[in-house]
Structure 1
Amino acid sequence: MVTAIGFEGSANKLGIGVIRDGKVLANCRTTYITPPGEGFLPKETAQHHRQKVLSVLKQCLEEAGVSPSEIDVVCYTKGPGMGAPLSTVAVVAKTVAQLWNKPILGVNHCIGHIEMGRLITGAKNPTVLYVSGGNTQVIAYARKRYRIFGETIDIAVGNCLDRFARVIKISNDPSPGYNIEQLAKHGKKFVQLPYCVKGMDVSFSGILTYMEERTSNLLRSGFTPEDLCFSLQETVFAMLVETTERALAHCNSSEVLIVGGVGCNVRLQEMMGEMCKERGAKLFATDERFCIDNGIMIAHAGAEMFQAGVRMRWEDSGITQRYRTDEVETVWRVD
């Protein structure tokens, strides 16, 4: 029986969670929210995490009803992510591990999302669409690694949506992507946008530039913000469904799992669900507790690693801003 605590702080979410043998004991989170029209910068995000981390840790231990002596391993996000926030949270995790005299494990952020998605949904061996503010990848497991079948060649889909939210000055509370989703539900007129799929890869920077340069004219010519949000969502999600479908066919898979913050989007789930239905596959997705960055996913992936015998030397307990999904050997999975 392994009890693990996980620290996540790769972007503007600070999360700490405790898990015991696949049972979630606590999953606490706080978000750094900036004014409309503004993004979050590394320095200010790191300051937010420093200010909040001890209160979130205290809340997490209280909710879990565990003492430090009951924790078997301290896990933290090693990467990928923003350097300053990652470093801030890693320092706290390492300090806690030393104070409590516990082993420490650095976890790949993406693999945290995948393993948590598999645990919560019960998906066995899915083709994975990982979509967030910082990452967009189509992934499938093969021979002890999560292999990347396709990815963005520039910005992530979540980053594209977030930056468009700044263009039309909508609120970042609770998240710009969520607010775009709500506006898109009321869109009636479709704007033809660039559709950029390159083999198994996707590109979003051109679509974003197109919207940035034309939004004012489109609004003046009778389109509403709702129409623009609707058009952007439909276009970028269609690109993601197309590349996921090809990976699904290539792997002869019968399951699709959507993970990452954008995975909460109900419209994306609907579009992917239609594709899965046509192919006789099953779609798995989670709600905002587990698809948005959180500490429990880091705790769970770390616990899986720890149980499989993975150990980390103290001198290796740093961060890696560019930490590829396929760099990690998944020794805990049985082929």
Structure 2
Amino acid sequence: MSLLTLPTELLCLLPNYLDNIESFTNAASSCRTLRSAFLATHPSTILHLAAASAPTFFSPHPYFLVAATAKSVSDWAIGNPDRTTLLRKAFYGGIYALYDFCLQHGGLTLDRIRQTHLARFTTINPLSDKIDKMAGKQWLETPNFWTGGVSEAVTLYTDADRAAFQIIIYGELFGTSMDAFLDPVRKELPVSRFDVATRLDYLTYSYEDQRVLRHILKCGRWRRMWAGAIRGFLDEEFTDETAVDEDWRKKMLRDALMMQGLEGMQLVTCKREDVSEGYLEKIRRIRGQIWALEEPPAVQMLGKKGNLRVSEAPDPAGELNVCFWQAWS
């Protein structure tokens, strides 16, 4: 009996018995019958097949697969206190505990795998290179580093790839929470977003990268990079300002664009013609929503002395500042 003579219901079960994602894609591409049957494969099954191929095909491990699946676990947990508690407990164990959590509660589609792999060359690698020039090896090699060659000179060890993925993962996890603050209806519903404490948990337990991430998100190069992207994609007259003088709408726009996760990072790595019109329309809508706000989101005063301001809307730089001072004071 030929494999292809089996009922479709049985063919759809085959992915459960394959060893990894390479076997899955090879089988799916072998003939029309299997390709059609494998379209019904559950995202959880695809994720576990991908995990069986890591880190060979999904490096750096486990950051790549966490970035690819973080949105799915965020959607699974948001609005449900019990599930949010489980997610926060996963943060306590760092990236590997979050990876295990994603394997248990997340999912992955072949389209998402393809998108993420393509983004490695168009978005992830260029973003990593830009971060390396802000806080990594290329930055440290700037001539006269300690005598005026760079502003904000400081001794840091930076794995630029890892730092890029940490920023992307933050956006994938909490992008929906930012969206809630831009929607006049949803912003009144606490179940539509994660609170400050949940976001702080993710950053607090990003042990190895916390100091580096704080430096990146607070440095002038990062602000100027986003200001240039906003001028190129949204507003030709957009101006960069110092962190002290920055208008709250401008800061919120930068944060909101960064909060779009992997998709949002294409604004600082891709040419305009390489970004879809659908996504350009989305970021125009985000800008319109922010400029329509009559006042900034409420803030909380945190830190051991209660003197650190953090927006209730996602505020990664402010949150990292709280984590830093709590760890070092």
Q: Sort the TM-score into its range (normalised by shorter chain).
A: under 0.3
Report which structure shows greater RCO (CA 8 Å, sep ≥6): 1
Say which one has the larger Rg.
2
Higher helix share: 2
TM-score, normalised relative to structure 1: 0.22
